[in-house]
Amino acid sequence: MWKTFCALLCGSLMAANAFAGENILPYGLKSGKPYAGTTLNILSVVTPQFKAYELRDEEFESLTGITVDWTHIPFVSLQEKVASVGVAADGNFDVVNYLDSWGPANAYWLQPIDGWLEQDGISMDRYPEAFKKSAMFKGETLGFPLRAHPQLMFYRKDLFDKHGLSEPKTWSDVVSAGKMIKEKEGIGGLACYYGADGNRQNLFIWLNYLWAAGGDVFDSQMKPAWTTPSAIQATKDYIEMHTSNDICGEGAVSNVEQDARIQFSQGKAAMIPVWWWAYSGFYNPNQSTLTKEQVAFTGMPSYKGETVTYAISMPFSISKHSKNQEASWEFLKWLSNPELDRRNAIEREVAGEAIVNNVVTHKQSLIDPEVNAANDNIQQAAALSLANSDIMPQIPEWPEIGDLLSNAIQKASTGGNVEELMAEAGQRTERILRRAGY
């Protein structure tokens, strides 16, 4: 049905425009199919959102004559694959998908798109500021943030109602609710993930504390800023959710985000701060013991009266080694168009396949009534979360520095001295930055 619809749509558009004497295509695509016969190879992460894009790409192929071949890679293998594609410099993949914090290290082979943006009148202001920043490096735009996530706090509505608790608005609320539920229900109050696995996931919530306390990762002189008194106190408060407050579920010191999501899904924890895309999995009977009625969400809690959240994205960029850069730009225009963004979060079947996706990245999609109606208003909550968000530092040295911080956080969660661990991470970071010429 979808293929028939695409064919009819494209045929109608072309016929109407030809009748008007001008073959104007949607999404700003070039008329006349100048790249017909080109085959583009796309590298992307495995996700229902991008699978739905692949299932919809006959529209693009019909409009342009360009064939699209997708390769979907699990997230755990994606970083290594992206790096190897860059090192090979052979252009086997025309368009690549990557985590924003990997962008700086790979920017040398990713094609900036600012010239094309200006040429086609596309503004990156259509995205929330944090998403927009996540696709940039040294003032240049490297791609479109087409999979991007704000943080939300998910909680067990049934247990909160049972114990007369209001949704957690502050981290103090999280601690008090977590203590009560752990005592009364015998499950973790909060699904925590302090484990250090190389993806720096234990920094995701720490950044909420750090930024809300007025701290930052680096100061204006590019020196470590996480050792100031306020930053150290924020780090202690983050760690103490597990240590002195003892509200975390089992395995907190080694858990990564996936472990925490499973713990919440299996009814072993009452709260979890995590990306919005996880929502559908929390009530999917194939993944969870919970029902939709048991799961609620709200914005991220405040710390010391402030709420600053961490946002993340997975941009798509064009390889400098691609021999099909102009055709790749046509593909990115189609892939990033606002209507596709919107439709992909509303429709639950694509080309006969069931797809559940709530991820949108355009500002207008976040407040779209139909998008919100299809997704329990989670986009509305996300828009509030994104109102004051930031991203991890966009420097090539960040993976190495982030690992130092991640390891320090993990050791602190086992009872290590916060001041000493963070000071040591700071000293080692200064050496890395000096070596890099900062």
What amino acid occupies position 191? Answer: A
Domain covering 151-310+397-435: architecture: 3-Layer(aba) Sandwich (3.40)
What's the start-to-end Cα distance of the chain, in Å? 57
C-alpha span between 191 and 349 (Å, rounded):
32
Residue 335 near residue 316, CB atoms below 8 Å: yes
| Cα 175 to Cα 170: distance, rounded to the nearest angstrom | 9
Q: What is the pLDDT of residue 280?
A: 92
Q: What is the dihedral of CA 280, 281, 286, 290, to 10 degrees?
A: -90
State residue 431's pLDDT score: 97
Taking the model in full, what pTM does it have? 0.89
Architecture of domain 2-148+313-386: 3-Layer(aba) Sandwich (3.40)
Q: What is the pLDDT of residue 197?
A: 85
Task: Say which DSSP state 211 is in.
Answer: H
The span from the CA of 193 to the CA of 191, in Å, is 7
Residue with tokens 């999501």: 261
325 with 318: CB under 8 angstroms? Answer: yes
Q: What is the DSSP letter of 29?
A: P
* Parts of the chain with a pLDDT under 50: 1-22
401: Cβ contacts below 8 Å, ≥ 6 apart: 393, 395, 429, 432, 433
The per-residue pLDDT for 5 is 39
367-386 burial by CB neighbour count: b if 16+ within 10 A, else e? ebeebbebbbebbbbbbbbb
Q: Where are the domains of the chain?
A: 2-148+313-386, 151-310+397-435
Going by C-alpha positions, the residue among 99, 101, 133 that lies closest to residue 390 is: 133
Distance separating alpha carbons of residues 302 and 288, to the nearest angstrom? 28
Q: Is 298 exposed, middle or buried (0-12, 13-18, 19+ CB in 10 A)?
A: middle
Give me the pLDDT at residue 23, please.
Answer: 61
Q: What per-residue confidence (pLDDT) applies to 171?
A: 98
Rounded to whole angstroms, the Cα distance separating 364 from 352 reads 27
By DSSP bridging, strand 39-45 and strand 295-298 are: unpaired
State both tokens at 135.
Answer: 């696709």
Contact (CB, 8 A) for 145 and 132: yes
SS (H, E, C) 90-159: CCCCCEEECCHHHHHHHHHHEECCHHHHHHHCCCHHHCCHHHHHHCEECCEECEEEEEEECEEEEEEHHH
**Domains 2-148+313-386 and 151-310+397-435 in one fold:** yes
Bridge partners for 247 per DSSP: none
